[in-house]
Each structure stands twice: as structure tokens, then as C-alpha cells.
Amino acid sequence: MDDAMWLDMTVDDADRVSRFYERVMGWSRQTVEMDGYVDYVMIKPDGSPAGGICHKRGSNSALPGGWIPYFTVANLTTALNQLTAEGGEQISEVRAYGDAAYCIIRDPAGACCALYAEDASA
């Protein structure tokens, strides 16, 4: 598994939390249109993405709070099969993102992260 390649946070009030990171970290916000509301991609002062701050709504309503790192795996299906064999838990459905796919998991210690495969067919 590679280093974390993305961070997301799902919260009740993404507007307030994203403003917090703007003011404290010096990040800026780019809106992402959702179903009747916006989520945010946070941008560092150097122009690189810092992560996403999302409202706890719709398909995100059951996700845990706090920052969730996304880790790249070679094959999502294989990783998910190994996850359950090793005492982990899949806590979201597999979601497509272009040609990629990801899902949120919980490890045996209770920590949450996402598994991300760049090729969803792999």
C-alpha cells in the first residue's frame, strides 16, 4: 500500500469547518456541487489540494467524523476480501470515481480509512 493519497472529512456543518481551515491553515475552498448543496475541496496556499470537507448527508450520512485518509491498493476486491479475513469491516459501499473505485473501512482497532484503486476493474 502506498502513502495516503487523499484526505476527506465528513461533518454536520462543512461550511463552518471549511471556514475554520481557511482561517487557521490559510487554505482556500473550491465548491463541489452535490444534490442541492456544496461540499468543498480545500486548497493549500501553494495551489495543491489538501483534502475534502463534506456534509454528513445522503450517501455520506453514515460515515465516521474526523479525517479519513485514502490509501491506494492494487486491487480493491482482493483488499476487501483480505479485510474481512483479518477482522476489519467495510462500512461504506464501493463507490466509483471516474475509472477508480473506493470504499471506507474500519480496521480491527476501530480506526477508519478508505481503500482506493485507480483501476476499478482490477
Place of cell 487523499: 6
pLDDT at 3: 59
- Is 86 contained in some domain? yes
In this structure, the answer to whether residues 41 and 84 fall within a common structural domain is no
pLDDT at 21 over 90: yes
The CATH number given to whatever domain includes residue 31 is: 3.10.180.10
Same domain, residue pair 38 and 83: no
Is the CB of residue 34 less than 8 Å from the CB of residue 78? no
49 and 77 together in one domain: no
What average pLDDT does range 90-117 have in this prediction?
A: 93
The torsion angles phi and psi of 24, rounded to 5 degrees, stand at -85, -45
One domain for residues 80 and 105: yes
* pLDDT at site 98: 86
Which of 60-64, 105-109, 117-121 is modeled with the greatest confidence?
Answer: 105-109
**What does the pLDDT read at residue 74?**
92
Residue 2 has pLDDT above 50, yes or no: no
> Which DSSP helix (H) or strand (E) runs through 89?
strand 89-90
Find the domain containing 95 and state its range: 73-122
Residue 64 placed within a domain: no
Number of domains in the chain: 2
Residues 44 and 85 in one domain: no
- Enter the pTM of the model: 0.82
At residue 1 the predicted structure's pLDDT band, cuts being 50, 70 and 90, is very low
What is the maximum span of the chain, computed from C-alpha positions, in angstroms?
43
How high is the pLDDT of residue 18? Answer: 96
pLDDT at 51 over 90: yes
Asked whether residue 51 is domain-assigned, the answer is yes
Output the average pLDDT for the chain: 91
Q: Which residue has the cell 473505485?
A: 101
- More confident of the two residues 120 and 122: 120
Q: In this structure, what C-alpha cell is assigned to residue 111?
A: 480506526
Each residue's pLDDT tens digit, 54-71 = 999 988 888 888 899 999
